[in-house]
Chain A
């Protein structure tokens, strides 16, 4: 099981990490990104999906995605 798939993620953005007992909250965009990552989507696909779903341009979507990936990496939720 990948690290991301081991997380318990609620629809309201509450994330529980069973390996450490830590919990996090995320906003709609974070939740959207996590769900696409779990589906194995590529960065380009996710950026495009963000621009479709949220009212942001591709540059902002790219920055948001990479900021979020940095956060997930720092919290050891992805490799």
Chain B
């Protein structure tokens, strides 16, 4: 018996040097063998995923979330009218708030999502991390949310140079002096808004976990990874799966206590002494999700099943020592496709 064809809309088609997760999410869904039609939702007309052969069945340009919820929802209604979407998987931090807030409206339209609650989303914000750490008993570096550059002159003593300065949604820079800190404060606040977060540097190796919570406290999937090659933007260009029991235990505990719903990425520093410091929680699928698929946990497929109300049996094992190596590839496109996406907002 043929499974009903699901129409799944996916954002984050920007497979660039700071890649969005859309393309690997689509690859995971396609690998699962599900009967699907993939709709790409793009914010820029040169997002590579729009043009990659065999990836999306159709792409629609979306207004930036900053354009406001009305325009955003109207565009989704238009796309839904054309495509009868079953599921949307949003992949950008900056759009998540809108998708979470309007998830009930989307569901009324027949569009399913599987996202954290607004409370979960807000609670793990970079500027809330100290409170989060206290509530859930996890170790975090000392950090402070900064609203004006003047505050950089009077930071807690633990936040000594060099320290990290981080944008509200994306980007982090290591700074060695006050002038650098002010420069990056201005850059990050103008790009991502306020607050900007400053965070103590913890020496050690960065380890990450991609995980999926079912919203009832169960960890449905979790894969640990160490970045092997990091770009100047701090992005993993190569990584390897780990058998790190402590890291996975921390992940299971956080998901259990927060009753996390949806995908997440935990970014942690493991010190020489074997201590783990949580530096960030991303409330979405990370761009390296295809490594988890390759290691035996198809998280994009599981998200689709959970979004459609199906029960998913937790998967506890995966292959250690699986690696990913990212690469760039020049696609040759046609001006006619570019013209279509610019002139009609669809391709």
Contacts and interface: CB of A to CB of B under 8 A. Distances in A.
A8 B321 contact: yes
A6 B244 CA distance: 11
A21 B223 CA distance: 13
Nearest to B225: A21
Interface in B202-252: 205, 207, 225-226, 228, 239-245
A23 to B, nearest CB: 8
B321 A18 contact: yes
* Chain B interface residue bracket vs A: 10 to 19
A19 B321 contact: no
A79 to B, nearest CB: 13
Contacts of A32: none
B169 interface: no
A8 B323 CA distance: 15
Interface string B41-76: 000000000000000000000000000000000000
B320 interface: yes
Contacts of B320: 8, 18
Contacts of B205: 20
The majority secondary structure among interface residues of chain B is strand
A18 B243 CA distance: 5
A20 B321 contact: no
A21 B224 CA distance: 10
Contacts of A20: 205, 226, 242, 244, 270
The majority secondary structure among interface residues of chain A is loop
A8 B321 CA distance: 9
A8 B243 CA distance: 12
B311 to A, nearest CB: 31
Contacts of B239: 21
Contacts of A6: 243
A20 B206 CA distance: 10
Interface string B303-347: 000000000000000001100000000000000000000000000
A68 interface: no
A19 B243 CA distance: 5
Interface string B151-187: 0000000000000000000000000000000000000
A78 to B, nearest CB: 15
Contacts of A16: 321
Most chain B beta carbons < 10 A, residue from A6, A18, A20, A21:
A21
Contact of A19 (B225, B228, B244): B244
Contacts of B207: 21
Contacts of B225: 21
B295 to A, nearest CB: 12
A6 B228 CA distance: 20
A62 B245 CA distance: 35
Interface string A11-25: 000001011110000
Contacts of A8: 320-321
Nearest to B320: A18
Closest 7 CB pairs of A and B: A21-B226, A18-B243, A18-B320, A21-B240, A21-B242, A16-B321, A19-B244
Given A8-B320, A20-B270, A21-B321, 8 more contacts: A19-B245, A20-B205, A20-B244, A21-B225, A21-B226, A21-B228, A21-B240, A21-B241
8 contacts: A16-B321, A18-B242, A18-B320, A20-B205, A20-B226, A21-B226, A21-B240, A21-B241
